[in-house]
C-alpha cells in the first residue's frame, strides 16, 4: 500500500493555467501557488497576469506570465516553452480560458460561432495536446483539468454555441483520459454552475439574471473559491485513480436550470 501523503501539497510541481487574467483562472493560479506549485499563467491581458505574478511572488510563491491568444494555435507551443524555461516542466494543466457571446441561436453569426468554438473548444484541444505530448515524451504522467460548464449538460437561453463547445470539452475529456490513461496522464473536467466573474456579471445583474438567481434553490451565486477543493484534489497525487470524470459544482443550480 502507498504511504499516506499530504493530499494537496504541490511543492515541486509546475502548473499551467490558461485564462488566469481574471475570474476562475486567477483564483486557480492563486490556489495552486498557495499549495506550493510554481504557476505559469497565460492570457491576452499581460498587465493583469503580471499583477497576479507579483501577488504570488509577494506571498513567497513562484510564477511566470506569458501573453498568449489561444485562438492562435501556432503560438501555443512557444508559450509553453516560455513557461517551462522559467519554471520547469509542466505537470499540471488547468485548461480554463473561455468566453461566450450571449445570443439567441437565430441571431448567431458565422463569426460568433467561430469565435466561441475557437476559444472554448479548439484551444482546449490544442493546449491539452501540446502539454500531453510533452508529458508523454518525458514519461512523467501528469494532470489535466478541463473547465467545461453546467451548460455542457443543460440548455440555457442564449448559450447555444457555448453549450455545444462545453459539451465537446466534456467528451474530449473522456477521450483524452482514455487515450492517455496508460501514460499516467489523468484528465478530468469541472462543470461549474454560475459563479460570479467578469464572464457573467452583466447577465447576473440584469433583471433577467436576478430572476434566474431567485429561481436557484439557494437563491445565490457562489464566488470562485467554491472550486478550490476540487481543483486541488484533481491537481494532486490524491486523485491518482480519478480520470475521465466530470464533476458538476453548481451549488444545486442544476435542480432548476433546464
Ligand X SMILES: NC(=O)c1ccc[n+]([C@@H]2O[C@H](COP(=O)([O-])OP(=O)(O)OC[C@H]3O[C@@H](n4cnc5c(N)ncnc54)[C@H](OP(=O)(O)O)[C@@H]3O)[C@@H](O)[C@H]2O)c1
Catalytic positions, written as ranges? 162
Site for ligand X in 120-159 (CB under 6 A): 147, 149
* Selected binder of ligand X within 61, 98, 142, 160 (CB under 6 A): 98
User: Can residue 188 be called a binding residue for ligand X (CB under 6 A)?
Assistant: no
User: Can residue 22 be called a binding residue for ligand X (CB under 6 A)?
Assistant: yes
Under 8 Å between Cβ of 97 and 70:
yes
Count residues near ligand X (CB under 6 A).
Answer: 28
Q: For the sheet with 63-67, list strands across it.
A: 63-67, 38-43, 14-18, 90-95, 142-147, 185-192, 246-249
Question: Which residues face 246 on adjacent strands?
Answer: 189
Window of 4-12, 130-138, 196-204, 209-217 that interacts with ligand X by CB under 6 A: 196-204
Least distance from C-beta 195 to ligand X, angstroms? 4
Q: Between 22 and 73, whose beta carbon lies closer to ligand X?
A: 22
Distance CA 98, CA 166 (A): 10
Cell of 222: 457562489
Q: What are phi and psi of 100, to 5 degrees?
A: -145, 145
Distance CA 23, CA 72 (A): 22
User: Can residue 68 be called a binding residue for ligand X (CB under 6 A)?
Assistant: yes
* Selected binder of ligand X within 44, 62, 122, 183 (CB under 6 A): 44
Which residue carries 483539468 as its cell? 145
3-state secondary structure 56-92: HHHCCCCEEEEECCCCCHHHHHHHHHHHHHHHCCEEE
* Selected binder of ligand X within 192, 212, 227, 232 (CB under 6 A): 192
Q: Between 16 and 20, whose beta carbon lies closer to ligand X?
A: 20
Q: Between 136 and 167, whose beta carbon lies closer to ligand X?
A: 167
Distance CA 40, CA 53 (A): 9
User: Can residue 202 be called a binding residue for ligand X (CB under 6 A)?
Assistant: no
Least distance from C-beta 12 to ligand X, angstroms? 26
- Applying CB under 6 A, the residues found at the interface with ligand X are 19-25, 43-45, 68-71, 96-99, 119, 147, 149, 192, 194-195, 197-200
Amino acid at each position: 500500500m502507498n504511504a499516506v501523503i499530504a493530499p494537496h501539497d504541490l511543492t515541486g510541481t509546475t502548473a499551467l493555467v490558461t485564462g488566469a487574467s481574471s475570474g476562475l483562472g486567477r483564483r486557480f493560479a492563486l490556489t495552486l501557488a498557495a499549495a506550493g506549485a510554481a504557476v505559469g499563467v497565460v492570457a491576452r491581458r499581460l498587465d493583469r497576469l503580471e499583477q497576479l505574478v507579483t501577488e504570488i511572488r509577494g506571498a513567497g510563491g513562484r510564477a511566470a506570465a506569458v501573453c498568449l491568444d489561444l485562438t492562435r494555435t501556432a503560438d501555443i507551443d512557444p508559450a509553453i516553452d516560455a513557461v517551462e524555461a522559467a519554471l520547469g516542466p509542466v505537470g499540471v494543466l488547468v485548461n480554463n480560458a473561455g468566453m461566450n457571446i450571449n445570443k439567441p441561436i437565430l441571431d448567431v453569426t458565422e463569426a460568433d460561432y467561430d469565435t466561441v468554438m475557437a476559444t472554448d473548444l479548439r484551444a482546449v484541444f490544442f493546449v491539452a495536446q501540446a502539454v500531453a505530448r510533452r508529458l508523454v515524451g518525458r514519461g512523467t504522467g501528469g494532470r489535466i483539468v478541463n473547465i467545461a460548464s453546467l451548460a455542457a449538460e443543460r440548455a440555457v437561453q442564449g448559450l447555444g454555441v457555448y453549450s455545444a463547445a462545453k459539451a465537446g470539452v466534456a467528451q474530449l475529456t473522456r477521450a483524452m483520459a482514455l487515450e492517455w490513461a496508460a501514460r499516467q496522464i489523468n484528465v478530468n473536467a469541472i462543470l461549474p454552475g454560475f459563479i460570479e466573474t467578469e464572464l457573467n456579471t452583466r447577465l447576473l445583474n440584469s433583471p433577467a439574471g436576478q430572476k434566474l438567481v431567485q429561481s436557484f434553490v439557494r437563491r445565490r451565486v457562489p464566488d470562485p473559491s467554491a472550486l478550490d477543493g476540487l481543483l486541488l484534489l484533481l491537481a494532486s497525487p490524491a486523485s491518482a485513480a480519478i480520470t475521465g470524470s466530470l464533476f458538476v459544482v453548481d451549488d444545486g443550480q442544476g435542480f432548476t436550470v433546464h
